[in-house]
Amino acid sequence: MLFCRSLKMLGFQISTEEEEMALQSVTLVEFSNPLILRSALAATLVKSHGQMPLFEAAFRQFLLSLRGVKDTRLAQNTLTANVARFRQEKHRHPQLFFSSPRGDVSEHAPGEPLSRQVGASVFAATQRSAYVSLTAWEQKEMTRFQQQLAFPLRFSRRIKVARRGKRVLLGESIRRSRTISELTDLFYASRIRSKKPLILLLDLSGSMAPFTRTLLRFAQTLVSRSKQVEVFAFSVELTRLTRVLSAQARDRALCDAYRVAKDAEGGTRLTESLTRFMRREGKPLLQHAAQVWLVTDGLFTGSEDAFSKAVRALALRAHPLVWIYPGVIPENDVDAPRGVAHLRRSATVAYSAQTFYELTDAYLAGLR
C-alpha cells in the first residue's frame, strides 16, 4: 500500500497484519470523506501521540495525490519526494530542549523527572518552506466555507427608531406627529445589531509547521468577508496579518502572509507574544466584546507562572476565549505540553481541529 510505504519512510513500524487491517478499514469507508478516511487509517496505524504530526503530513500529501494526480507512478514519486523532504527538514533543524516541569531550562534537581518538548525554542527559522499556489481542492474548500459563512452578532451602542421596543422616544414621536393635531403613534429606541469582532491568534512556530498553510487559508477566508476580523500570527515575534490577508486574490494574500511573517516555522515565544498583545494591540480591540480564537499546541519556553498569567488575562477580556488544539487534546496533562493544562482551565471552549474541514466545523458549531 502506497500510504503505508510512505509511513515506513518516516520511521513507522508497520507489520503485514497492520497493513491488511488498514486496507480493510479503507474499503469500509468512502474516499469522498477525508475526515473519516483519516480517522480509519490513524486508528490502525498510529501507535502513539508523537506519531500524529508525521501521520498528518503523509496523509495530507497522500490526499493531494489522490485528488490532483492521475498517473499512479507520478503520484507515488510525488508522495515519496515530499515525505522524504519533510523528514530531512525535521532532522536538519531540530528544535528540542529539555526542561523540568517547573519550566527551568537549567540543571534540573536530582531525581526530578525530565519532560521532553519538541518545537519550543526561541530562535527564528534559518530555512523555511516556500509558498506553493493553492490547488483546485483547496480553492473548492475555501469557496464552500464562504457560502456557509456567517458572523455572530452583538448589540451596539447605536440605536435606531422602531415601532416596538422598551424605551419610548418621546421627542421623535412628537416630531413625526407634528402634522396632525394629536399624538397617535409612539416610536421606540431599538439597539442596532452589528457583527461581533473576531480576533485570530495563530501559532506559526516550528511545531505548528504542518498546519501553517491550513490556518492561513482559514484566516484569509474570514478576513476577506468581514472587516471585523483581525489576524495576528506569533512565532518569535507578534505580527499583524489582517491587511495582507484581506486581498481578494487568495494566492496573493497567502504569498504575502508568508513574506510578512518572516519568523514563521521557527521558534516560539508564546508567553511574550500574548503579553505584548494584551498590552498593545489587544487593548483597543478587546473593548468591543471581541471573540478570541487562540490556535496553539501549548509549547512555550520560560516561566510557567508567566504563561498562566498571560492566558488568564486573555480569558478575562475575551468574549469568549476559544482554544483550538491541532490534534487530539491529551486527556493526561503529564504527557501533554506544559501549556495544555493552563489552556484547558482558562479557555471557555476547546476544539480539536487539524484539517480545514475541522476548523470550519468548529467555527460553524460556535454559531449555533
Q: Any idea where the domains of the chain sit in the sequence? A: 2-92, 136-149+196-367, 157-194
In the predicted model, what is the mean pLDDT of residues 229-254? 93
Cell digits of residue 228: 471585523
Residues making up the chain, counted from first to last:
368
Topology given in CATH for the domain delimited by 136-149+196-367: Rossmann fold (3.40.50)
User: Over the stretch 158-207, which tens digit does the pLDDT of each residue have?
Assistant: 777 777 777 877 777 777 777 666 666 787 777 777 788 999 999 998 88
For residues 66, 70, 75, 76, the Cα torsion angle rounded to the nearest 10 degrees is: 100
The predicted-structure confidence for 330-347, as pLDDT tens digits, reads as follows 877 776 778 899 999 999
* Ranges 89-103, 111-125, 200-214, most confident: 200-214
Average pLDDT of every residue of the chain: 78
d(CA 198, CA 111): 46
CA angle (294, 284, 282) in 5-degree steps: 30
Q: What is the dihedral of CA 57, 63, 65, 70, to 10 degrees?
A: 170
Residue among 339, 316, 313, 315 at smallest CA distance from 326: 339
Q: Over pLDDT 70: what percentage of the chain? A: 76
Q: How far apart, in whole angstroms, are the C-alpha atoms of residue 69 and residue 217?
A: 22
pLDDT (average), residues 98-127: 43
Residue 316 has pLDDT above 50, yes or no: yes
